[in-house]
Amino acid sequence: MITVHHLNQSRSHRVLWALEELEVPYELVKYDRDPKTFLAPPALQQIHPLGKSPVVVEDGAVHAESGAILEHLADRFGKFRPAAGTQAARDCRYFLHYAEGSLMPFLLLKLIFGKIKTGAPFLVRPITNAIVSKVSGDFIDPNLTRHVKFIGDHLEKHAWFAGDEISIADFQMIYAMEGILSRGKQFTLSPKIQQWVDSCRARPAYKKALEKGGPMMLD
């Protein structure tokens, strides 16, 4: 039996979505964030030393990091990974790593600096706003603009990130793509980005994952 240790409002929605698409049974163990700090509870450290989610336990083996978990599931069940040696396989591998390695750091910076701007004490707000504007204007926003265009251009040619069929690359990209729609309102988004997200949201397995695990954290 597969056990998913799931933290509310986290990236582990990806794993739930993959398991629902695979239609395999699994046990869901839920954890709630601290309402004040929004951090994961210490109980998760009993499953994995870093106390992060998602964590999957199967036959005594502990699997952490969503990308590694998705690769394990694809290998385990022989689905949602294109044939080796194809361009689709190369795209699948690329976007599986691109989501967290290249794209999410800028979305996270966008979120953090936005909170700094709105949450700074009144007396220092002019200083923090100047710093936020400088970093955002010179570094965060130009990079996000480049990434958004890159993604839109790719989806102009492909229905899914690895070609014509859904793959683990799509499961991995969903969190960042929802984040783009949530945080990237000032960017010019290709209609293909919204269409891709709508296609994901329309899938019954995606809806089941949200029903069981709750919403993702986007703001």
pLDDT in tens, 118-158: 666 656 566 677 776 777 777 889 999 999 999 999 999 99
Q: What is the pLDDT of residues 4-48, one digit of tens each?
A: 999 887 888 999 999 999 999 999 999 988 888 778 888 998 999
Cα separation, 76 vs 70, in Å, equals: 10
Q: Does 218 have pLDDT greater than 60?
A: no
pLDDT given for residue 69 in this prediction: 97
pLDDT given for residue 87 in this prediction: 97
The three-state (H, E, C) secondary structure of 93-134, written as one string: HHHHHHHHHHHHHHHHHHHHHHHHHHHCCHHHHHHHHHHHHH
Judged on CB neighbours under 10 Å (0-12, 13-18, 19+), 60 is exposed
- Stretch 157-164: mean pLDDT, rounded? 97
Q: Does 219 have pLDDT greater than 60?
A: no
Q: Does 58 have pLDDT greater than 80?
A: yes
pLDDT given for residue 119 in this prediction: 62
